[in-house]
Amino acid sequence: MAVRRVYRLTGTGQQDYLDWFAAIAEDFATRMPRNRQPQPAPGPAQPWRPLLTSNISPDILYGYGDPAVLRTEEDGAPVYYLVVTSNDAPNAFPILRSRDLEQWQLKGFVFPEGRWPDWIAQGVGTSDCWAPELHRSGDEYLLCFSAREQDGTLAIAIARSAHPEGPYSLPDWPLLRGGMIDPNIFVDADGSILLLWKEDSNDRWPALLAALLHERPALARPLFDDPADQRTAALAGALWPLVRGLEPMERFFALQPLIEAAVEDFTLLRRKLARLDQETSGKAVAEPILEAMRTPIFAQPLTPDGQSLIGSPGIILVNDLAWEGHLIEGPWLTRHDDHYYLFYSGNDFSTAEYGIGVAIASSPLGPFRKMDDPILRSSADWRGPGHPSVALGPDGVPRLFFHAFVPGRAGYKEFRALLSCGLAFGTDSVDPLG
């Protein structure tokens, strides 16, 4: 006898969708979302140094995600500036200042309320202002960032100021358009400037896969081995007509169980998709999905004034290690002695699987060789360390700065703390220090 169930989605945020899918999983044995499963035993406590563990102003709404730290000097003493993601807050990109990395002051915002570039979408649940970075180039400071345009696509732009605290110019248009995020500016010893960024296909391949499962629901079984994942894939296909019209972030939330099912064995799923095309007489039904499952990091030189790009972009890194799962993002390039170290994040930012990896090269454009394992993983005290930046500490020792969630509170727009640890650079490896 058929049984009818009613599941009410109480909001449009990530936690709302996780609760909704958890209720469905209880009744239909679909995949239980990771953040609604009993949490695995955490890793050991790490000697990470917490720097900011609460919002120091009511105008900072979501903590210190995607932190970028710049060290400057005043009167011979170090001064630090921090800029962070603001999501849809009315004041975009907080600017914080510290002399010792312990005491921080909010000095303002890159784009305070009422003073935003016209091309950026604004409003609660609409704007996405992500991953700012502050760098000195000559006599000015370059502030690169990603933001959602009025048409809903993500873009990268650069604002300028004579002082780290602003005021910042309002860029008339983006430098890069079409779904690009996580810019990183690298200024080499000779003054040459390189822009790194990530192509945002985070929600593109899940959408393509859900559309394929809607068109061909019988594929749920051969593509996924676990019965719960098969049911999850079938559910995603059935929901696709409702999901495809959602705004990008909400669509990502609505496809998260499918993403988690795919990432359970991402390498195997990609092999199955590749075989699917071979078995369909050359009809490339899976090829667009496979291409979108690559999340490349690009690099391209900037003009000395940082106004425009030179030449053509090149791919310097892709997600090809098991721990990285379906994505890499948040690049930060730094030089130590004669080597270039590319720090980056991998896997799902909203879960404990997120971590920080490193790739090493003798040229800023590579080729880069990755360390096999991440240098930072979730610990007993913190979940999902990610989006690294590097600066010298007050003692002159290089330090890694990154965000992490409090256990049990991971997710989009959840509070992220600012943490730090020392770094020991080797020619073939990087080791975190206390």
Q: Residue 159 — very low, low, confident or very high, per pLDDT cuts 50/70/90? A: very high
Residue 1's pLDDT is what? 60
pLDDT at residue 280 above 80? no
Residue 232 CA, chain-centre distance (Å), reads 25
Q: Angle at the Cα of 366 (from 319 to 310), degrees rounded to 5?
A: 100
> Can you list the domains of the chain with their CATH numbers?
14-30+203-292 (no CATH), 49-201+294-433 (2.115.10.20)
Average pLDDT over the chain, rounded to an integer: 94
351-386 pLDDT, tens digit each = 888 999 999 999 999 999 999 999 999 998 999 999
Q: Residue 40 — very low, low, confident or very high, per pLDDT cuts 50/70/90? A: low
Q: Residue 350 — very low, low, confident or very high, per pLDDT cuts 50/70/90? A: confident
179-206 pLDDT, tens digit each = 999 999 999 999 899 999 999 888 889 9
CA gap 18, 148 in Å, rounded: 24
Sheet of 140-148, strand order:
129-137, 140-148, 154-161
Question: Residue 23: what residue type?
Answer: A
Helix (H) or strand (E) holding 326: none
Average pLDDT over every residue of 157-186: 96
315-342 pLDDT, tens digit each = 999 999 999 999 999 999 999 999 999 9
Q: Residue 47 — very low, low, confident or very high, per pLDDT cuts 50/70/90? A: confident
**Close Cβ partners of 258 (under 8 Å, ≥ 6 residues apart):** 206, 209, 210, 232, 233, 236
Residue 18's pLDDT is what? 96
Residue 388's pLDDT is what? 98
Buried/exposed code over 231-260 (b: 16+ C-beta within 10 A; e: otherwise): bbbbbbbebbeebeebebbbbbbbbbbbbb
**Overall residue count recorded for the chain in this entry:** 434
248-277 pLDDT, tens digit each = 889 999 999 999 999 999 999 999 999 987
142-156 pLDDT, tens digit each = 999 999 999 999 999
Residue 171's pLDDT is what? 95
Helix (H) or strand (E) holding 313: none
